[in-house]
Amino acid sequence: MSEIIYKAQNIKKTYVEGKVKTQVLKGVNLEICKDEITAIIGQSGSGKSTLLHILGTLDTPDTGSLEFKGTELLKLSNQKKAQFRNLNLGFVYQFHHLLGDFTALENVMMPLLIANVPVKEAKLKAKEYLQKVGLSHRVNFRPNELSGGERQRVAIARAIVNKPDLILADEPTGNLDAQNAQEVFSIFSHLVKTEHVAVVMVTHDQNLASKCDKIYKMIDGEIDA
Ligand code: ADP
Ligand code: MG
């Protein structure tokens, strides 16, 4: 069995809006392993995005523990959490969230520049990662000059250029046709093998989920392995 890099235990989350309380996560436990793609499936509204945000330290649970390689993330200050995210996590969303005024290359350089990597080095690294996702011929294109599949590949290059341990992807193929969805999945599979990153992918695509190393199913705020 692969090394466990991330362990979430008894994660609970209730949203309160006015007098209405909604318990979205009811004590979720999960383990994420190195060199694996973990799928999270489940109906719309079952709490998948909430869980992913919490795993990404972008939202805080009411109780529980998030142990990442021996560090309890919930004890970190906001500043340390931001630093943790920048160094260890990559995010990919359903909609690419690329910056429209910047080229593919500049978008991929962004996390490196934020991490204070010198511009020249950032440019080389970004090119290398665009090549890894098969976009060497698109480095100077802006998002609106790229296809949906290409944009997602840029988003993946941006998520991985910092060499994170974990990529959190929320329906990364949700906006793509079957062929592009398969291509994006193949890129994740390839990166897991070559870059030794772990991927957690929320998906509605049964076919893709079945190709993952592990599947968790969210049902009404609870999770089944
Ligand atoms: P999924 O990603 O599985 O579709 P979500 O995690 O987005 O589900 O949402 C789960 C439930 O939590 C939904 O009922 C949603 O309306 C509610 N919810 C999500 N985010 C918030 C929020 N910020 N405030 C209040 N309710 C929320
Ligand atoms: Mg969602």
Q: Which atom of ligand 1 is nearest to the CA of 50?
A: 6
Domain housing 140: 4-223
CATH number of the domain bearing residue 77: 3.40.50.300
Please tell me the distance from the alpha carbon of residue 214 to that of residue 30, in angstroms, as a whole number. Answer: 11
How many domains does the chain divide into?
A: 1
The per-residue pLDDT for range 173-201, each reduced to its tens digit, is 998 999 999 999 999 999 999 999 999 99
Alpha-helical segments (H) within the chain: 48-55, 78-88, 104-114, 119-132, 148-160, 178-195, 206-210
Q: Which ligand is nearest to the CA of 174?
A: 2
Residue 175 CA, ligand 2 centroid: distance in Å = 13
Question: Who lines ligand 1 at CB under 6 A?
Answer: 15, 17, 22, 24, 42, 44-50
The per-residue pLDDT for range 4-43, each reduced to its tens digit, is 999 999 999 999 999 999 999 999 999 999 999 999 999 9
Residues lying with their CB under 5 A of ligand 2, a single-atom ion: 48-49
pTM of the model: 0.94
